[in-house]
Structure 1
């Protein structure tokens, strides 16, 4: 059986682009402002995310903050639910589900997460908006950077960094507010009574936000983000990507038409018929990572579609159809059959549904009370004299619910025993109580030196909840026989 060998397409780049200096100084990217459908879509996606991030810590639920990660008490409060260290499997499941959901979206729509919802992208655009407010548009910023230091330049630069620091401080305050109740945190800041850890984390996230979104920007996406490196292996010819229609756009050049904005990368007029690309360079000037999408798919591309909006605007001005740069798949661009559903798509979809189903089932069947029983590790038994043997147990009950409960404790599996402990325990919401339980039995009531004893914990507050724990009652064998 013969196999068809598919040739890998190779594109020869210009000679002056073949050498890349790995230690070259980074050139700051001045991104041009633009308008368009995908920009509006990104704004519509960013605003709810930002509002949710900054306002959620101020939402109260009962007598506490709605979302509060209480690390000292080892409790995560999420609205009406409280998660304990014993629920770590749920947290692991949520993280696994998020990863597979990201893979599923990537197979279908490429890096739309990066372009529309990633915190790095969202905050970078917020910082660029502040930069534009302080220093002006792209041309004004380039001109300002080229000028020698003056009072005007110092004033504009200072205003920009003040805005950046203010945004960073608000971001840090909101983040730490998820771990320390934010009203209490604000009060501590105002009274200059912050603890060491609060001060450290506020400073850390202020600096991290300021550096990542203000200074590093696209460097985080290109060099630091692991997703940018491995997302390519999840792409196939049916993945939606931002792509340039080379057949329609080439050969590029101005011809008799004049570019509206930007800096051309080729300026020579040619006698041959030109494509629709007028080589205005605007698709490069609006790109937040500074790539030229006309060079083909690149791992730096975050699928934000800024180049799509910019190119569509140029095409409309030239009375040309939109879509020279657009969201499309490789198969669509090449005229091949586009398959929406692939084996990889189905595999990730099944994985997402299975993991989500398991998480929901585990959450629904989550017990409102956690019962833990351990024996005394110091002694197997205590000989009280007269044939009476005593065993000691430690019974811990945790109330994971939001209502106070009264739990009753009973013993079964043994006969004629003396129960030396409380048979009821009251627990407030999210409270853990531990009781020392002592059971005494005469050797005449024991058939073996190792007898099963069953502890039952009941509570009528949770639909007649009952949980049992089995342990052993140990007695000296020489006294039984």
Structure 2
């Protein structure tokens, strides 16, 4: 007998309708299992990270009001965000390198747009049935059954979107506060506005526009080909083995005039972006491997070797040493820069500003006095007490409270003055302000200059 799909699949082979909507067929297989595993892992991390506690507080939180990032025991202020730039730089070069090796596997396996889109498709299949049943439902006249299924699908999509938005907001608002006030209708209107905004974005991106985001809005799909070379492994169709394509009887010898492709079109029906991989490399392809699973399934049913569609490179024996070396060095340099930043970073930041209105003055005792403003930041989640000292100036005296106290994450300014009865030999005398935190064995210094106004001494 001729190869046939299940009865409902005999109706339509085209993956799109006249409006351009893509009806994605569900597919099982090796690469789908990898994607599902990664999706569950990434979603578990996305949902679970805000619930991680440290010393009774949320371990990771972005404080938009204070413009800080709280990470376990430390607080990153705007001046610390070089590490964020380095982290994104590292992620970008790793992504570019992986793209050079395996094409758009990020898009196919770990991109949030793909993960949420396929989640929404899974919900759609549970409610409306297979991709052909969904198409027939869309083309059917209005009925209560159609209305019930459409409402159930869109309500489910909106519910997932709201949960997604709430989880995202919990990175900015402590989850212990967010969820309780949100569902008790006690949160501020700004919280409801942002949750609504992010929920609508999720609903439109994953439910309504789906592949259009990848095809028309994502810049990565446009410039990705600039990173490919002949050694890049891309999902591709082996035309030499598959052509000429055509249907045939299962269990019988393959016709002499036909290749291995039975023209079942399953590779098209399972494609999230609605392309036919047999037409060659296309920028729309997200390298998800679903067409490989579908084709391997068909090849197994006919007793043919798998891999008619597979991850292949044009020249698999070529070694692109210069490309590997360039990316390797760049990634290594970025990692070293991150480690250097971490070693140089201190839990306390001290910045000194000289008083601009009066560079110096002579006080009632005849001593020369300079006034400074110290900006001190405690970048930890514990209160700290510092001892202020002056080094490098003989016979100097600090005319201010030498003990400075800051609460967790606090930034304060302290006005201090230094005087000396001895006239310095130079107009500007360099010295250091020193902050000592004996409890935490930390010492922070900042250079400054004492202006004597002793013009005769020059």
Q: Point out where structure 2 has 5 or more consecutive residues left out of the alignment.
A: 1-16
Aligned residue for 1:437? 416
Matched-pair contact (CA < 8 Å) for 1:68–1:179: yes
Aligned residue for 1:221? 214
Aligned mates of 2:182, 2:456 — CA distance in 1: 67
Determine helix, strand or coil for the equivalent of 2:449.
strand
Deviates more, 1:276-285 or 1:428-437: 428-437
Aligned mates of 2:445, 2:149 — CA distance in 1: 69
Q: What is the deviation of 1:271? A: 8.2
Aligned residue for 1:189? 182
User: Which of 139, 146, 151 is 2:144 aligned to?
Assistant: 151
Matches within 5 A, 1:437-476: 437-442=416-421, 444-463=422-441, 465-476=442-453
The alpha-carbon distance between structure 1 residues 404 and 385, as it changes in their structure 2 partners (threshold 3 A), is closer
Once the two structures are superposed, residues 99-146 of structure 1 have per-residue CA deviations (whole angstroms, 9 ceiling, x without a partner) of: 001001111111111111000000001100111111111121011011
Given the alignment of the two structures, is residue 274 of structure 1 paired with residue 253 of structure 2, yes or no?
A: no
User: Which of 57, 69, 72 is 2:62 aligned to?
Assistant: 69
Q: What is the deviation of 1:201? A: 1.7
Aligned mates of 1:368, 1:26 — CA distance in 2: 58
Matched-pair contact (CA < 8 Å) for 2:268–2:276: yes
Once the two structures are superposed, residues 405-455 of structure 1 have per-residue CA deviations (whole angstroms, 9 ceiling, x without a partner) of: 33211113333333221112233332333321012334x533333332321
Aligned residue for 1:8? none
Once the two structures are superposed, residues 349-401 of structure 1 have per-residue CA deviations (whole angstroms, 9 ceiling, x without a partner) of: 22112211221232133212211111112322234346333221111222223
Given the alignment of the two structures, is residue 41 of structure 1 paired with residue 34 of structure 2, yes or no?
A: yes
Deviates more, 1:399-408 or 1:273-282: 399-408
Q: How many correspondences in the alignment? A: 440
Deviates more, 1:404-413 or 1:47-56: 404-413
Aligned residue for 2:340? 361
Determine helix, strand or coil for the equivalent of 2:283.
coil
* Structure with the larger RCO, 1 or 2 (CA within 8 Å, 6+ apart): 2
Q: Point out where structure 1 has 5 or more consecutive residues left out of the alignment.
A: 1-23, 259-269, 333-337
Normalised TM-score (structure 2): 0.91
Q: What is the deviation of 1:257? A: 5.3
Given the alignment of the two structures, is residue 96 of structure 1 paired with residue 89 of structure 2, yes or no?
A: yes
Aligned mates of 1:68, 1:397 — CA distance in 2: 22
Given the alignment of the two structures, is residue 27 of structure 1 paired with residue 20 of structure 2, yes or no?
A: yes
User: Which of 279, 282, 288 is 1:298 aligned to?
Assistant: 282
Normalised TM-score (structure 1): 0.87
Matched-pair contact (CA < 8 Å) for 2:292–2:309: yes
Determine helix, strand or coil for the equivalent of 1:204.
helix
Aligned mates of 2:100, 2:226 — CA distance in 1: 9
Deviates more, 1:105-114 or 1:466-475: 466-475
Aligned mates of 1:74, 1:224 — CA distance in 2: 29
Aligned mates of 1:189, 1:466 — CA distance in 2: 44
Aligned residue for 2:399? 420
Deviates more, 1:147-156 or 1:191-200: 191-200
Aligned residue for 2:157? 164
Aligned residue for 1:208? 201
User: Which of 115, 118, 128 is 1:125 aligned to?
Assistant: 118
CA RMSD of aligned residues (A): 2.2
